[in-house]
Amino acid sequence: MSTATLPTSSIGDLANRRFGSGPALIAALLGFFVITLDALVVNVALPAIGHGLGGGMAGLQWVVDGYTLMFAALLLSAGSVSDRIGARQAYAVGLAVFVASSAACGLAPNLGVLIAARLVQGAGAAVMLPATLALIREAFPDSAKRAWAISMWALGGSVGTAAGPVAGGLLTLIDWRMIFFVNVPVGLTALFLLTRTARSPRREAPIDWIGQIAAVAAMSALTYGAIEAGAVGLAAPPVLLALAMAVVAAVVFVVAQARGTHPMVPLPLLRSRTMAISAAVGFAMNVGFYGMIFLLGLYLQEMRGLSALSTGLAFVPMALLTAFVSPTSAWLSARFGARMPIITGQLLMATGLAILIAAPAAAPTWLLVVLMIPVGTGGALAVPSLTALLLDRVPAERAGTAGGVLNASRQTGGALAVAVFGALVADRAGFVPGLHTGLLIAVAALAATAAASLLLKPVPREGRSHTSRYRSIGESNDEAHQTA
């Protein structure tokens, strides 16, 4: 019998007998690590990239947003690609694209080539992410072992997030190009490990091409309009044209989802109160988190004169405490309900950002470092419970789509934060007022979504123990090809 006709559990058993499950888990963990690392490692290196390749604020914004934009826009349909060609095969293709584009980023002779390579890199990351979890599912047929494997996979992402700014500062000391070259040995190691895993089965998985193209067009046009508005003004014809194109593409996307045979995002799901509020919360939290890292990464170097290394080290306390706070979310959710850590996390993040705004211009750098901590810990407190609540409230057959919408919304929030906030600080003379305005926008968004979170319905406690609840979350995430 061909392995393509075997059920997933049989494939997993074959893989375990022939190769063991370790190579699949390590390959998936390494992939998730570099995906999250590259979302943040660039921020601290932006001044060095600007000095090395030239270009103004708009170009540097695209270095960050090129990756995040393609990652968010393609994430909704990437799970279908993984199912269609098989998890191992999809992961290998995405990883090969990611490694090649990382090398192209490091070798880029000018800013245009770097931005183009970052776009391709984001596309590779989008294909990789859902395939990593599908790969784990095949390698770990037993649900208990699979739950442990997913926790290890999530740890890889947490380390990547925490290490991003620090690694950016350290590697920039050598050369900013090293922040991209470091992906090559990690990626090649993961590709080698894939040769020690079984070939994945293929499944019927239609792709919504019209919806996907419309989503990419809408997000690209909106991001371009926001970035260019900072350079040429909101009323400039290119900006107005881009915003009009974003509206038209968004309308096409909605129509495709309403009338398409296999929509990426069924509209009834978006009419769910839980889905709508969760997506809004995820969007607002990434506006605050990604926006703050982008702005302070520039501020500490351009206005305070810190080196790239010192700037990276400034994010260490927040990163370390974030890693410790994240498990607390599960405990609080089990004891007080998911709404408590969700709302508390948003208010904590908003408070940290508000105090940063109020900090005097002469405030010592160590104080700014301390004030960043509530922003990171607030996100670590809210996001796990938010994901758990969403997956508990939506039907099981919609778990994958719901997780995809949540994560796409989060990535979109980060991309737009960089676009809009970068426009606000494009003029060096107005950097500090622009920084304050950007952070104030994030505070307002978080305050609004914290209030909306009061409308989230609590998950009934009966019928689920603490352990079974989080095991089922792991399985739902796994089956859905989602990131936690």
- For CA atoms 265, 266, 267, 273, give the dihedral sign: negative
Q: How confident is the model at residue 158 (pLDDT cuts 50, 70, 90)?
A: confident
**Higher pLDDT among residues 130 and 49, named by residue:** 49
Q: Which of 357, 349, 361 is nearest to 303 (CA)?
A: 361
Average pLDDT of the chain, as a whole number = 79
Q: What is the pLDDT of residue 330?
A: 67
Q: How confident is the model at residue 479 (pLDDT cuts 50, 70, 90)?
A: very low
Per-residue pLDDT tens digits for 10-26: 444 444 445 567 888 88
Q: What is the pLDDT of residue 79?
A: 66
Is 122 a residue whose pLDDT tops 70? yes
Per-residue pLDDT tens digits for 318-367: 877 877 776 676 677 777 777 888 899 999 999 999 999 998 888 898 99
- Own/partner pairs for 459-468, CB < 8 Å, 24+ apart? 459/337, 459/338, 459/389, 459/392, 459/393, 466/330, 466/334
Angle between helices 22-53 and 57-85 (to 10 degrees): 160
Is 9 a residue whose pLDDT tops 50? no
**Count of alpha carbons within 13 angstroms of residue 268, beta-carbon side:** 4
Q: How confident is the model at residue 267 (pLDDT cuts 50, 70, 90)?
A: confident
